[in-house]
Structure 1
């Protein structure tokens, strides 16, 4: 069925959403300004080194936390396992910069941990004892690892559950201990899934701004932020952002290649009966302490401390600004979620109606922004919108009118567009997978009844894919509520979201007053995790 209007519309939207990436590459290829040459000759190599070590350390930490926990949850019988396997996902809801501040508060020289040690042992000053400093690259890696290991845990656990039980039983019959069976059978089979999890961890680490900035660890993300806001050089910021874009593309290609290899591993899915190793004595208590320790350190302890601060500083936090910034976040997130859903429906329906392979390309193009770190995306959005703002003002002058000012970069337009580019992929993915489950025969029946594509979408498809649409819109909404680096760079003057508001308190070392808005962000972040856990329980 030919639908030229729909096809043109979907291509136009896809190109609009890829505009930041193209603008970023264009700006990065322009001749270098003096500032970039100066940065390249002085500090940039150190920033690149810091970024590399940070990503590597976080990946190692996530691997050491995620894989053993996943195997214990998939293969062993433990008391309270049903609660524990869900609790291990909770740290994902906690923004890393909040965790970083909570632990800095606890472990700094003036914090309760070191104060207690000095009191117990009679130490007078820091010269009397050694306590590892937390505000270092290693400390930042630890904080990020605590909140990002669930990516590895989730994918590894799913891979372990899907493995053929007969393979593991055969290895046991051949004399392997559970540990040898894990090392020789389970782990090699789960390797592609673990690689996907690690690539997600690496991309999230690369995109992190709050933790590294708070710990004063200079990475490429902070370099983009400082170059644009500190020096006002869009050209130098775009060049550094383009370097990060290259790293992301490399990570994505590695993840794709590992996923291709995965195909040959999942052929024997004889899930006859789940294996349940019984752990006793020391091994049982060790496994429980290990898993619950991750939950406590990554979620429960920071959350309890936030609640304590929120109660004690309630009167200072519960004010007009809290409501204003909550409203800003809600309106902005709801607007972007609605727009993302409309774009996803248009792209998904165009592909379905035309039935051509090439109409899937706009969906792929429109989803590209999700891989971009917030700072990189922000520079990509600023390049075309700033040029457009200047062009509009020049045109107004030429026509003899008064200059309208910054219509795009000085309003909510820039931040909404940035969020749409970054998180639209979630709505597109949800709508695409839901539409894929609707029988094509329904389309034929509806066409024979004389319905056009618009009516068909409204009366047939939308009621059937309502759950998928809701899930997609909800994910976009939640990610918008939590997003920090893009919000810091793209927000108009005197405009705060809950994330930037909390981060302001974190930067001023006053998280106590920002604890209430921080709790709101965490609770909103828990919603998709509940959905995710439900769907995992239904599958297994």
Structure 2
């Protein structure tokens, strides 16, 4: 009997062991997926391509360009860019942190409605908001026209309103559109880190500004720094709002130098300065979060204190004003202007072509970004959690593209694709200029810019899948492809869906890269709006602008339906 048992054990097939244990740490290690490291490298490498191309072109360019740039271009552009960043930074930090504090810690009229409404300005790209405000406050616009009619005036310059086409106007418009980055980050910090500390501080008698200054603000500082850095990078990436409002930033200078003066070397050198400024913003964000760590707790709404009648009314007004300036007024104007245009002339005949171009470019970029993000996130997961290795480094490299302004990425790709075109031309296998100025160039810029969205989303989703799931599947003989298809993808589907939506919508709204790289006779909603604003035909572009606002509302609806409730639970 024992011998029969031994024979049966020998004849039974041994379970497949596709993971081992580290000899040094004793930690379970999955076997390497064949080709995964190569796929992750190929997915992350294009992000570095524009930067390398810019550096090479700037160093290879004529040395006579630098004195001209240093004397006539860079001083004004750098001063106006830094002034814009400083102004926008102050606006987004004050408005975003203040409104997050009010809606998180106090009860006042319309608080719940305003807590959601404060996110709405994210639906408006900066250049759409600038386009709307420029016509609203124009001497021939609805505000001044109605005021002159009421006052019986006929001179268009009789009402000396502040000039919107100025640095101050650009700071206000962009600050009112970008403050939700800080608002969402600070609000999440107050709910995940500050509940117990605020309760303890109140028990010690702290209240009002003392509570905010000594407890609330220090705890939210890392989140505020991260949100402000995102807002400043969006301000650096902008080209439409700055040009519409008469501010000559470094991004505008890159566009003008390449398009107007046809100087690719000069554009590359200005782009390098802009890239250095981006690195400075990232460094400031790191410094803002340095040596600050607070234990995160389960998301829980702080105990909100009821404000007296007068203070509650002031809080309501303080939270209403950003919503009005950042969304309601420009969106209402666009709706009114689009209705007038459609009622009188019908829809623009080229509108279906604009929508088709925008949607097709964004769809191709979204698909490629998702395919590139999957090996990056999976490669980071296959690294040891105790010792992040090459997979984590490749993931960080792939996510750096979001910090590249669209104009910088576009100029770098123009140079790189020019090299590839020359090489293919020498080989005789491709016509010259096959890649430069093509759909492939636009899609590549979108993928580089927005790869961080699906890569970060999938990395966060993988962090919620326990590694024991992989080990169990592999120990039962699951191959790498089967593990990915049958186990990972079903669990990653929600994150993939959200990442696809956000990537698609961001690509639909991208303006700088599209302006510089689009093929001839190709117009998207963003470039059509830019062209109409450049011609001064504001009502003609209102329909395209309204379509972009509708596109931008989709992630806000998604956030309100799910994400915001997860971060910000209902009040008790």
1:280 aligns with 2:308: yes
Q: In 1, Cα distance between the equivalents of 2:477 and 2:292?
A: 45
**Deviations 1:181-228 (CA, angstroms, capped at 9, x unpaired):** 222221222222212222222111111100111122111011100111
Q: In 2, Cα distance between the equivalents of 1:107 and 1:424?
A: 38
What's 1:415 paired with? 442
Distance 1:313 1:268, change over 3 A: closer
TM-score normalised according to structure 1 size: 0.93
Distance 1:444 1:388, change over 3 A: same
Secondary structure of residue in 2 paired with 1:240: helix
Secondary structure of residue in 2 paired with 1:465: helix
Asked if the contact 1:3/1:354 (under 8 Å) is kept, the reply is: no
What's 1:157 paired with? 187
Q: In 2, Cα distance between the equivalents of 1:16 and 1:410?
A: 18
Q: Which structure: greater helix fraction?
A: 1
**Deviations 1:38-65 (CA, angstroms, capped at 9, x unpaired):** 2322232011101111111111122232
Q: What residue ranges of structure 1 are gaps of 5+ in the alignment?
A: none
Alignment of 1:418-497 (within 5 A): 418-497=445-524
- The more displaced of 496-505 and 311-320 is 311-320
1:379 aligns with 2:406: no
Structure exhibiting the larger radius of gyration computed from Cα positions: 2
Moved beyond 6 Å, runs of 4+ = 270-273
1:230 aligns with 2:260: yes
What's 1:537 paired with? 565
Q: In 1, Cα distance between the equivalents of 2:298 and 2:495?
A: 29
Q: In 2, Cα distance between the equivalents of 1:360 and 1:317?
A: 53
Asked if the contact 1:62/1:145 (under 8 Å) is kept, the reply is: yes
Query: Of the candidates 94, 97, 103, which is equivalent to residue 67 of structure 1?
Result: 97
Distance 1:173 1:520, change over 3 A: same
Q: Aligned-residue CA RMSD in angstroms?
A: 2.2
Alignment of 1:259-278 (within 5 A): 259-263=289-293, 266-267=294-295, 269=297, 274-278=302-306
- The more displaced of 361-370 and 175-184 is 175-184
What's 1:46 paired with? 76
**Deviations 1:344-376 (CA, angstroms, capped at 9, x unpaired):** 112222333454622221111111111011111
Distance 1:275 1:443, change over 3 A: same
Secondary structure of residue in 1 paired with 2:312: helix
Shift of 1:79: 2.8
**Deviations 1:103-162 (CA, angstroms, capped at 9, x unpaired):** 222222223333344445555647766321110111111110110111111112122223
Q: In 1, Cα distance between the equivalents of 2:278 and 2:307?
A: 41
1:340 aligns with 2:369: yes
Distance 1:75 1:254, change over 3 A: same
Q: What residue ranges of structure 2 are gaps of 5+ in the alignment?
A: 1-30
Distance 1:166 1:336, change over 3 A: closer
TM-score normalised according to structure 2 size: 0.88
Shift of 1:87: 0.8
Secondary structure of residue in 2 paired with 1:74: helix
Query: Of the candidates 80, 90, 97, which is equivalent to residue 110 of structure 2?
Result: 80
Distance 1:312 1:15, change over 3 A: same
Aligned residue-pair number:
533
Asked if the contact 1:88/1:295 (under 8 Å) is kept, the reply is: yes
Shift of 1:449: 3.4
Asked if the contact 2:194/2:219 (under 8 Å) is kept, the reply is: no
